[in-house]
Amino acid sequence: AQSVAQPEDQVNVAEGNPLTVKCTYSVSGNPYLFWYVQYPNRGLQFLLKYITGDNLVKGSYGFEAEFNKSQTSFHLKKPSALVSDSALYFCAVRDIGGVTGGGNKLTFGTGTQLKVEL
């Protein structure tokens, strides 16, 4: 079965500093990996995805993520955080080659609350 772990419930960072939100995954086949952001009382918005190719993926609002196959990680990063980045961030994985046929299902982590302070 596919799974995602976000080890930090909350990440605090000062505005202007770099930020990292961690994500590790487990799949039996090859992964498609995603990051979504959720603002209060709103739905999830797509940030970026890794399908294949370059391990460094760039997405919306200056965010990027690095796929590391050996460490089964897909950490979200931003060089300079903004107060407006404060939100709940979800990592998700889709196993495209798993024996359980999970190719059509996206599994989410439990979310990491990012708080950017002045």
Distance CA 78, CA 81 (A): 6
Q: Residue from 49, 66, 75, 77 that binds other proteins (CB under 8 A)?
A: 49
Asked if 109 touches other proteins (CB under 8 A), the answer is: yes
> With the CA atoms of 4, 48, 57 and 50 taken in that order, what torsion angle do they form, in degrees rounded to the nearest 10?
50
Q: Residue from 21, 24, 111, 116 that binds other proteins (CB under 8 A)?
A: 111
Q: What is the nearest approach in angstroms of other proteins to the Cβ of residue 74?
A: 14
Tell how strand 19-21 and strand 44-50 pair up: unpaired
User: Residues in the chain, how many?
Assistant: 118
* Binding region for other proteins (CB under 8 A): 9, 32, 34, 36, 41-46, 49, 51, 90, 94, 104-111
